[in-house]
Chain A
Amino acid sequence: DGGITQSPKYLFRKEGQNVTLSCEQNLNHDAMYWYRQDPGQGLRLIYYSQIVNDFQKGDIAEGYSVSREKKESFPLTVTSAQKNPTAFYLCASKMTRPGGYNSPLHFGNGTRLTVT
């Protein structure tokens, strides 16, 4: 079955360390997204990529970085510059062709990052 795989499900890091969250999809979707979810705040967009080797900042990109070297993969690095990194991180993808961007998002099951 096609889907999005996020790993690991739980991640623990010490303050000051960079950490990379994995996101892989086999849906053949062009666009991929990273969202951060905090209690009571819904989902906030960190970065998104509409095509390989290209990505754009979302609403809360500071302290994060991404790469998109392959269509299937969109890893997110949480750097030591992110002031409050403890959160639930969700990766998503969507089909953008041939119908455009009106297709829904497909989500992975998330990674819960705890930084102490």
Chain B
Amino acid sequence: AQSVTQPDIHITVSEGASLELRCNYSYGATPYLFWYVQSPGQGLQLLLKYFSGDTLVQGIKGFEAEFKRSQSSFNLRKPSVHWSDAAEYFCAVDPNAGKSTFGDGTTLTVKP
């Protein structure tokens, strides 16, 4: 069965600083990979997705993620964080069976 690990429960960065959120997955083949963002009391919104091809994918709100097969990772990055980026971020894997598995999430706090 597939699994997703987000090693960092909570990350704090200063506004304007760069950000990297880590995601490691376990799956026999190359899965479909997603990053979602959740504001408090809301549903999840898709940031970006990877299916195949270019391993660096661009998403909304200036986010990007890089798929590294050798490391089974799909880390999310942003060069300059804005206060509105404070939220919880979830990495998910879908092995094309319709059932996504989510990591436990990383809460991002942005300091002024």
Enumerate chain A interface residues (CB-CB to B < 8 A): 4, 6, 31, 35, 40-43, 45, 48, 50, 58, 90, 92, 94, 96, 100-102, 104-110, 112
Cα separation A100 to B100 with both chains bound (whole Å): 14
Closest to B31 in A: A102
Give 7 closest A-B pairs by Cβ, nearest first: A107-B43, A42-B104, A101-B98, A43-B102, A104-B46, A42-B102, A107-B44
Question: Are A108 and B32 in contact, with the CB atoms below 8 A?
Answer: no
Question: Are B96 and A40 in contact, with the CB atoms below 8 A?
Answer: no
Q: Is B56 an interface residue (CB 8 A)?
A: no
Q: How many contacting A-B pairs (Cβ < 8 A)?
A: 61
Question: Are A45 and B43 in contact, with the CB atoms below 8 A?
Answer: no
Asked, given contacts A40-B104, A43-B90, whether A101 binds B97 with beta carbons under 8 Å apart, the answer is yes
- CB neighbours of A105 from chain B (8 A): 34, 36, 44, 46, 92, 100
Q: Distance (Å) between the CB of A48 and the closest chain B CB?
A: 7
Question: Are A102 and B99 in contact, with the CB atoms below 8 A?
Answer: no
Q: Which of B41, B49, B96 contacts A104, CB < 8 Å?
A: B49
Cα separation A94 to B99 with both chains bound (whole Å): 10
Q: Is the interface of B mostly helix, strand, loop or mixed?
A: loop
Asked, given contacts A41-B104, A104-B34, whether A58 binds B99 with beta carbons under 8 Å apart, the answer is yes
Cα separation A31 to B94 with both chains bound (whole Å): 14
Question: Are A48 and B42 in contact, with the CB atoms below 8 A?
Answer: no
Interface string of B79-112 (1 = CB under 8 A from A): 0000000000010101011111011110000000
Most B C-beta atoms less than 10 A away, residue of A90, A101, A110: A101
- CB neighbours of A104 from chain B (8 A): 34, 36, 46, 49
Q: Which of A43, A101, A107, A110 contacts B94, CB < 8 Å?
A: A101
Q: List 16 other contacts, CB 8 Å, given A42-B105, A50-B98.
A: A6-B43, A31-B98, A45-B99, A45-B100, A48-B99, A92-B44, A101-B96, A101-B97, A101-B98, A102-B32, A105-B44, A107-B44, A108-B43, A109-B42, A109-B43, A110-B43
